[in-house]
Structure 1
Amino acid sequence: MPSGSAMHPSGVSIQLRQLIYYHLDNGFYQNAFFLAGRLYALDTRNPDYVHLLALCNLRLCRYKAVFDLTKPKLHQPNHLACMYVFAQACLALGRYDQGAQALLKVRSQWAGRNHWNKHSETSRRHIPDAAACYTLLGKLYNAHGNAKKANECFTEALKVNPFMWDAFTELCHLGSFVRPGNIFKITPEMLAVLSHSTSNGMLPPQFASQENSETKNPFVSTPEVDPFSSSTRNGADVGLNLGGSNLFSRLNGIAAGPGRTTVATYKEVETPTSSSNQNIHDEDLPLGSINDPNYGNTSDIPQAPLRKTRLQPMGTNDEPPKMRSMTSRVKARMGSEAETTEIARPIGQNGHKRTVSGHSTHQGQTAPSADPAAAPPRRSVRLLNSLNSIRPSSNRLATAPSKEPDGKEKRELRKVRATGTRGKTGSIPQVGRVISGNRKTPVEIPEAPSKPDPRPVSITAPVAAPPPRMAPQSNIREVMESLEWLLGLLRKLATGYAQLSRYSCAEALETFQSIPQPQRDTPWVLSQVGKAYYERSQYPDAENVFSRIREKFPSHLDDMEVYSNALWQMGKETELAHLAHELMDQDRLSPQAWCVTGNAFSMQREHDQAIKSFTRATQLDPYFAYGFTLQGHEHIANEEYDKAMMAYRCAITADKRHYNGWYGLGQVYDKLGKYDIAEQHYRAAANINPTNAILAVKIGFVMDRQGKTEAALQQYRNAVSLDPRSNLARFRKAQAHLKLHRPEDALLDLIHLRDTASDDANVHFLLGRTYKMLGERSHAVRHFTVAINLDPKAQQYIGEVMEAWDEDEEDLEGEGDGEGDGGVGGWSSDEGR
């Protein structure tokens, strides 16, 4: 017995748990944490109480408190919910191995769980299922450096639940080759859940053809739709097993015969929503609502007294009145399930007497007359019918044509009865009113008139059959169509995301264009499109996309550092400074804001201030790899190569597939003259992003420095094939052709550059050298003159080349490799980003 258990009522824990979940659902985490402390004090060894307190700490980002509270103890059994929040705390604290081991210890408890399609506004599953645990386990393995096991865990999570988008994106970040068509489809596990839901909540297909029949009253106790029959409702139905204080829970929780369990347990109910109804859906309740003031109020319903045998009148002329046949519920109790009829009406409508229990005293075929002295129905029946009477009568079941031959006559009879007045019932003598056991002598029943008098309809009479509360969705085809549409949308989004993660930017743009327009205008999709344009070096297009995000969704922060890089590449200093001010005013604690601010300082060549801004961004998010990379670029600008190398290595540690970090390391070794090591790092970056033309150019450049000009030329050709718009690739290719004494081949690329980058001095200088090798003096002098006009600082060098006209061409290594070397078409700035 927990300490202090005698000092508080037994229901205190239930109320506290409800209050805790109330505050958690409404975002009042401090209130939930305070109440969780009261609950935890009731019993410090109860794992459910420990879990709630740890969950509140987790929502408040107090990871060390969660770790200390839920860490496995030798004297206590492992609790799944506690181990799950413990693993989440380990992921935040960097204790990845401990978190993974904790989840593996309780694997038997979550391996078979699947909560897909079980969450709603009124139902919660705070105990994790297999998909959630596999995803968290994969994140722990990935952070620990075990990419193979992380890949397996993410794959298993998607097998259980294809809607685990986080698991899919993690697979893409790991570099796994994923096939979205095989992932985002209806799985056998989903079909199993759907079939289970169909048997519980949806109308099975075999009953779909009967839903328009007037005789199929959903409140008639027929064997197939009887809300009180436990034989036809699944064992996981909450209305059968909870045994709460409402009427249906009590009726279904009481043992009705030998071999029947008094109250069954319902393990899936993990979050109570009220003191008496835990996780009860509206579709689980056959009538009424949990908000109805009369709902669940059974304390004042009297129990029917024992009936005495009623003596029938003896006479030759007075025959006993013929009674309506019993309802199918009564027949079901007697073992007959072959016939279904309407629910029996009170005495004023169907012409036979009823006891307090609401059933007929006789069983007959017809009811030609009404007995004015019959007993009123019992209170539970009146409650049932009063709820029916306030329901709207314009439903399918009420307006459907009747299949019974006398259905039309019955409807006409109801219309006639509805024309009477309620006051007529008071003038009828109460001779025939019988309550079980209150008459000791036989009572003569007056002969029924040949034509029934118009009588008022009682307020307890069912005016029309209300729609079934147990079948909110009568056709499972609608569910399948919805799932197919949603999975099809996710399939397209996933295909585009996977293509972008493999840097197949052209294919990704085409895929995103096939998405419906409302989905394409969301900030997430627009960000992916902007990044695809940026990776293709289409900076104006990327700027247009990101500016649309700023206009339509000004609070969106994700990928704003890419937007700032595009502005940096185009040299738009004013726009970049304005973006930095906006993001700083919006959220000073976001790494994106500090990253954009650093780019703004870099544009103004204030490299030290830029380094401080990028450092602040990485302090706010230690996994912000781009912040480390940009920090390294600024260190290179300050010629601080050791610091730059450290920054790039931090970027790779944060994200092993961040190719910019590998490229930065290659750039450092290139500056240091270690071309072989630089080539290795450039190739590592190219393996991650094989579609980047700049990486191919850099590989060719360091190979050319090592004297491998022919191999370097092949890399330049590869770069041009990857991006025909790459001016830098064509420039390097022309240089290699001149070094191999192929001026005709070099001239083809240089003419193209003359048209696309006519204001670059390097292009005109190289054209002059080419025409000099071809012996065309006039063309050479003209281009040398243009180069001098574009770059007056190079006048002395260009003049020396023009004076040495008759001398043989020397090796071009070193020419054009200075500060302006990469400046063809603006590619000099692109190399650093």
Structure 2
Amino acid sequence: MASKPSNTCVVNQLRQLVYYHLDNNLLKNALFYAERLAAIDSRSTESAHLLSQCHLRLGDYGSAFEYSKPAGSRGGQLGCAYVFAQACLALHRYKEGISAMEKSRALWGAKNNFGRHTATSRQLLPDAAAATCLLGKLYHGYEDRIKAIRCFEESLKLNPFMWDAFTSLCDMGVHMRVNNIFKMNPEMEAAIKAIYPEDFDSQSSRGSTLSTMPEQERNRPSTRPTSVVSETPDPFNHVPTRGFAGGLFGTLGMSQKLNESNPSLTNIPAAGGGGIGPEAMETPTGPSAIIDATQNRRDPGIVSAYSTEAPPAPARKTRTLQGLGMDFSVDAPKMSRGISTKRSQKLPMPRAVPYEEHVEESAAAHALRSNSVSSHATQERKRTISGQVVPRQSSEDPGAPQRRSVRLFNQIRPTSTKLSSATSSVGPPGGRELKKTRQPISKIMRPNSTTSTVGRQVSGNRKPVEQEPMDVDQRETSSRSWVGTVTSIPPLKTLEPDSVKQEAALKFLLDLFKTFGSGYFALSKFECADALQLYNQLPRQQLETPWVMAQIGRAYYEQAAYVEAEKYYRRIRQVAPTRYEDMEIYSTILWHLKRETDLAFLAHELIDSSWKSPQAWCALGNSWSLARDHEQALKSFRRATQLDPSFAYAFTLQGHEHVANEEYEKALKSYRDGITADKRHYNAWYGVGRVYEKLGSYDKAFFHFDAASRINPTNAVLICCIGTVLEKQKDPRQALAYFTKATDLAPRSTLTRFKKARTLMALGDLHAALSELNVLKDMAPDEAMVHFLLGRLYKSLRERGLAVHHFTIALNLDPKASQQIKEAIESIEEDDEDYENSMTA
């Protein structure tokens, strides 16, 4: 009978099963095993974290809230606190989520997981950037705008790739310097150095391209580097009291800086005092090694933030090794291929180079201090010119006279004792002893081949030089002459360290996301022309993605260029037929274009594929609205608001339908619900102003139109509405200023130009009005009102023929207004009679 297994082993196996199914997105399986784990290990907070995590990913926010509450609400376990806060965000219990994140601040305030998520390793617990972003969302839901903005700003300072924090700031209307956000910061540099510590030895760390500090700062290892935020202007237009270092890499933790910038955040311990315990350590789920937090705090500097090795020793001078009876320089190549450094293992030289060219001081010193076993291994690896192994000789024992090859090498040794890595990789130093310590024979060469690769470039472009038999003196002469001509060989391209490649990739991505961010920020301020210009700078493969096409279509939509916008949304339907985001805008565009058939087809497609999305029901409601079935349209819009109570656009469309039915009280309620869902939804503000204008409350209408215009200052329709209200309030001069501004913003808008011309006529500026009407006549030659207004203008100018001409055109274009137009023509004759009577009197 098998013995009962250890409880610890059972718990570990169950935990691995949960991680396995979570990584493979088998969430129900993961939930099943998480329940078994919680039953066996009921006192463990990690078990509660995994169980609540499974419920959260399945969308069961209530269960996630309950299972994570015991440990998460008091901030005792970071995983539970994070899941608890996410569940609170979904359940709109913002205050409880804020409390949990603030209590657990000591566990995440000093964490940075950037660059530590790979195919073989995970960081299940959040770091400071992710936790601060979640805290910002909770504050935003709690309607604490100031604290929400501060949290989003801190999240972006820690990790500029926190796109959710950036878009939240844009949607809140916060002014930013986008170019100062998407750039390398000390956190990211330290993360790269932690992943590739072997690329930062004593030479490369001084001249590495990763270092963005001034030269004098790099030469002082005891000086703490200045962060990116303190070097450049604050991207959020704040004046910091001190430089931002952020998280794990500074003497001031992020929680302390948040406390200083926000005095209302109380009970925030310093990041340096928390995060060392078991709860602050990441849970490894792969073979990659996790760096100990105590090692990370060994040096507050940036360069050695993750370093686990001692700093390299200074270069040693040439000295005589007693017992060997020879001079040895640290610049000499390694005598044994069995002893290699970490860097030479990471960056092997191409097979075409037969010599050991990477000189490492630590390896040379280690080779000289090696025991008799390593000396024996070195001796066995030496070969003759023909490639045969040199037999063991008694002269190799310690104390034997110096070999002739070593003396020859010392004679032709370069004068410089500091060879850079680039020089060592260009070509092999001369000497017979080097030829004996060459690399093993390549597969493409036979063991007894007479060809040699001496002097071949790394790229292999030169032909192999045929080696002729020669005596020892000839070979020595050849070696000396080769060394003398090393400087004439063009510099070769050395192998680039992985850290440099990763840094270049990060800079490329930051530049790319800078364009994305600038375009999104411009569109959030409704600077549509700038947004279009920025998005068109993206690479073609990025322009063809649905998100970018939706942004470009949205920019054209805000400019009322519905035909251009429709092209991009139609392309989205071809590229991503299952996408339902932004389809409410597409349906509105089709509504404006009166494409009834296309709109009905789109609505049925969306309802069939994603009937639980509010965008699909908005499209269906617009389809019913275009068909003038307002009751069915209202039902569809109500269904959209039921599916997503925060979907402001559905409330606005619902209000439009109530206005069409002349149900103004219901329309006001719908518009106000939209404003509650999104305070920057200018369409709802416009709707309220429109209702008050119809009700004759011009002061209230002006207030709401003005609020909408402050949100979207480039919308000519909103500015024109303000002018219309002022015109009805008998303030034509102020109205003219708004009409002029609207005409400047939208020169092709016939409505704004018509209202401007009418106001100019009311103020008696007939010639300016005539100029506007002539432009308008060319833009809308078939508009009866334009010709009617021209007739009135020419009547005022006493040009009877032109007045009758335009009145006649207006009568032909709009026969329904024949009575009014005929009265205007008759009034011209009456005015002429009155004028003749006054002249003859």
Same fold (TM over 0.5): yes
Instruction: For 1:808 and 1:594, locate their aligned partners in 2 and report how far apart those are by CA, in whole Å.
Output: 59
Change (3 A) 1:476 1:774: same
Alignment pair present for 1:271 and 2:271: no
| CA offset digits 1:141-196 (Å, max 9, x no partner) | 11111111110000000000000000000000111001111100001222222233
Instruction: For 1:731 and 1:326, locate their aligned partners in 2 and report how far apart those are by CA, in whole Å.
Output: 88
Question: What corresponds to 2:801 in structure 1?
Answer: 778
Change (3 A) 1:413 1:582: closer
Cα pair 1:203 1:475 within 8 Å, conserved: no
Instruction: For 2:279 and 2:380, locate their aligned partners in 1 and report how far apart those are by CA, in whole Å.
Output: 42
Instruction: For 1:532 and 1:150, locate their aligned partners in 2 and report how far apart those are by CA, in whole Å.
Output: 27
Which runs of structure 2 are paired with 1:261-660 in the superposition (5 Å)? Answer: 268-273=281-286, 337=366, 339=368, 365=396, 405-409=432-436, 474-660=497-683
| CA offset digits 1:102-161 (Å, max 9, x no partner) | 100011111111111111111111111111011101111111111111100000000000
Instruction: For 2:678 and 2:146, locate their aligned partners in 1 and report how far apart those are by CA, in whole Å.
Output: 16
Alignment pair present for 1:684 and 2:707: yes
Instruction: For 1:204 and 1:52, locate their aligned partners in 2 and report how far apart those are by CA, in whole Å.
Output: 41
Change (3 A) 1:761 1:156: same
Return the offset for 1:343.
6.8
| CA offset digits 1:762-808 (Å, max 9, x no partner) | 22222222122122222222322222332222222222222223568
Letter paired with 1:755 = D
Cα pair 1:325 1:365 within 8 Å, conserved: no
Letter paired with 1:272 = T
Instruction: For 1:757 and 1:333, locate their aligned partners in 2 and report how far apart those are by CA, in whole Å.
Output: 84
Change (3 A) 1:473 1:615: farther
Greater shift after overlay, 79-88 or 732-741?
732-741
Question: What corresponds to 2:196 in structure 1?
Answer: 198
Instruction: For 1:340 and 1:491, locate their aligned partners in 2 and report how far apart those are by CA, in whole Å.
Output: 53
Question: Residue 61 of structure 1 aligns to a residue in which SS?
Answer: coil
Change (3 A) 1:108 1:266: closer
Instruction: For 1:790 and 1:329, locate their aligned partners in 2 and report how far apart those are by CA, in whole Å.
Output: 93
Which runs of structure 2 are paired with 1:681-720 in the superposition (5 Å)? Answer: 681-720=704-743
| CA offset digits 1:36-86 (Å, max 9, x no partner) | 000101122211000000000000111111111112469976111101110
Question: Residue 156 of structure 1 aligns to a residue in which SS?
Answer: helix
Change (3 A) 1:152 1:790: same
Cα pair 2:72 2:80 within 8 Å, conserved: no
Question: What corresponds to 2:822 in structure 1?
Answer: 799
Return the offset for 1:635.
0.6
Select the residue among 768, 776, 780 that pairs with 1:745.
768
Instruction: For 1:704 and 1:273, locate their aligned partners in 2 and report how far apart those are by CA, in whole Å.
Output: 71
Letter paired with 2:433 = D
| CA offset digits 1:655-684 (Å, max 9, x no partner) | 110111100000010111101100000000
Cα pair 1:738 1:770 within 8 Å, conserved: yes
| CA offset digits 1:631-662 (Å, max 9, x no partner) | 11111000011111111111111111011110
Cα pair 1:499 1:507 within 8 Å, conserved: yes
Cα pair 1:124 1:279 within 8 Å, conserved: no
Letter paired with 2:54 = C
User: Who wins on radius of gyration, i.e. which is larger?
Assistant: 1
Select the residue among 69, 72, 77 that pairs with 1:71.
69
Q: Unaligned stretches of 5+ in structure 1? A: 210-235, 237-263, 281-323, 353-359, 368-396, 421-471, 810-833
Letter paired with 1:273 = G
Cα pair 1:125 1:268 within 8 Å, conserved: no
Instruction: For 1:265 and 1:728, locate their aligned partners in 2 and report how far apart those are by CA, in whole Å.
Output: 68
Aligned pairs, how many?
620
TM-score of the superposition, structure 1-length normalised?
0.69
Select the residue among 47, 50, 54 that pairs with 2:48.
50
Select the residue among 165, 182, 185 that pairs with 1:184.
182
Letter paired with 1:757 = A
Select the residue among 75, 93, 99 that pairs with 1:101.
99
Which runs of structure 2 are paired with 1:145-184 in the superposition (5 Å)? Answer: 145-184=143-182
Return the offset for 1:473.
7.0
Letter paired with 2:366 = E
Identity of aligned residues (%): 45
Letter paired with 2:651 = F
| CA offset digits 1:423-459 (Å, max 9, x no partner) | xxxxxxxxxxxxxxxxxxxxxxxxxxxxxxxxxxxxx
Return the offset for 1:607.
1.1
Return the offset for 1:623.
1.5
Return the offset for 1:197.
2.7
Change (3 A) 1:556 1:339: farther
Alignment pair present for 1:17 and 2:15: yes
Alignment pair present for 1:112 and 2:107: no
Cα pair 2:75 2:101 within 8 Å, conserved: no
Return the offset for 1:267.
6.8
Cα pair 1:273 1:279 within 8 Å, conserved: no
Q: Unaligned stretches of 5+ in structure 2? A: 207-247, 249-276, 292-334, 342-360, 384-390, 399-423, 449-494, 833-841
Change (3 A) 1:803 1:759: same
Instruction: For 1:147 and 1:337, locate their aligned partners in 2 and report how far apart those are by CA, in whole Å.
Output: 61
Greater shift after overlay, 50-59 or 650-659?
650-659
Instruction: For 2:137 and 2:279, locate their aligned partners in 1 and report how far apart those are by CA, in whole Å.
Output: 32
Cα pair 1:203 1:474 within 8 Å, conserved: no
Instruction: For 2:92 and 2:11, locate their aligned partners in 1 and report how far apart those are by CA, in whole Å.
Output: 34
Question: Residue 489 of structure 1 aligns to a residue in which SS?
Answer: helix
